[in-house]
């Protein structure tokens, strides 16, 4: 669906509205169980990570989803998966912090210049956009099913929690890693050993994984 050349060809329109909509539909067409397997096993492909795709496609739940869409029933699982995808590493957080500091410094300098009027206009426009986003967020929250799966009842949420624990294990923790995978073999019997847990385990014990198996 996405190639390393997307948006780089001379005549390509890149990440246009149609492509973003197609990518968004794909994520929301997956069941939570299927999606959590996809995002943990296939972290990177063709130079893109799921995080890159989310940022380029602006993927988020919206009122455009039909009322009977499974997102509203299982929003806790979808939201947890989306949060997992958008996790930031320390380097990314540092870059954002530096950018914010530079922006604040630049704004402070410009306040004493001739751009005050333009800045005031920009601020007003940004506040209006922010208000629209907040209103949309409130409406989305009101459409979510109050009886969605919880951390105690959801296989997906348990899986993500275990995956995060597995990522933190060292080579001396192999028995614990095996226990994690066996546990989720019961939760996802059909596909656990093709999931991100198994891939993460193989990395843990320094077993080289053929690219075609990832």
Nearest to 63 by CA among 8, 175, 143, 5: 143
Rounded to 10°, the helix 196-204/155-167 angle is: 10
3-state helix, strand, coil in the chain (%, to 5): 65, 0, 35
Low-confidence ranges of the chain (pLDDT < 70): 1-14, 88-124, 184-214
* C-alpha 67 chain-centroid distance: 23
| Predicted local distance difference test score (pLDDT) of residue 163 | 83
d(CA 179, CA 182): 5
d(CA 116, CA 86): 35
**In this structure, what is the dihedral angle of CA atoms 162, 2, 48, 169, given to the nearest 10 degrees?**
20
| Predicted local distance difference test score (pLDDT) of residue 203 | 59
d(CA 110, CA 119): 9
Residue 25, φ and ψ in degrees, nearest 5? -60, -35
d(CA 90, CA 99): 14
| Predicted local distance difference test score (pLDDT) of residue 177 | 77
| Predicted local distance difference test score (pLDDT) of residue 148 | 93
| Predicted local distance difference test score (pLDDT) of residue 186 | 56
| Predicted local distance difference test score (pLDDT) of residue 169 | 78
What pTM did the predictor assign? 0.69
d(CA 145, CA 152): 17
């Amino acid at each position: 669906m996405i190639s390393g050349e997307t948006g780089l060809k001379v005549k390509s329109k890149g990440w246009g509205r149609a492509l973003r909509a197609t990518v968004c539909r794909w994520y929301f067409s997956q069941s939570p169980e299927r999606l959590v397997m996809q995002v943990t096993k296939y972290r990177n492909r063709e130079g893109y990570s799921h995080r890159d795709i989310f940022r380029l496609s602006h993927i988020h739940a919206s009122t455009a989803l039909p009322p009977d869409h499974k997102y509203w029933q299982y929003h806790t699982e979808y939201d947890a998966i989306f949060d997992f995808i958008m996790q930031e590493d320390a380097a990314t957080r540092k870059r954002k912090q530096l950018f914010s500091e530079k922006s604040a410094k630049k704004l402070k300098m410009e306040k004493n210049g001739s751009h005050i009027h333009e800045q005031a206009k920009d601020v007003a426009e940004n506040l209006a956009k922010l208000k629209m986003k907040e209103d949309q967020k409130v409406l989305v929250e009101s459409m979510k099913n109050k009886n969605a799966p919880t951390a105690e009842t959801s296989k997906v949420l348990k899986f993500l929690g275990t995956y995060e624990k597995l990522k933190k294990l060292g080579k001396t923790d192999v028995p614990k890693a095996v226990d994690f995978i066996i546990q989720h073999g019961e939760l996802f019997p059909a596909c656990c050993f093709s999931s991100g847990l198994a891939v993460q385990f193989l990395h843990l014990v320094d077993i080289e994984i053929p690219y075609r198996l990832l």
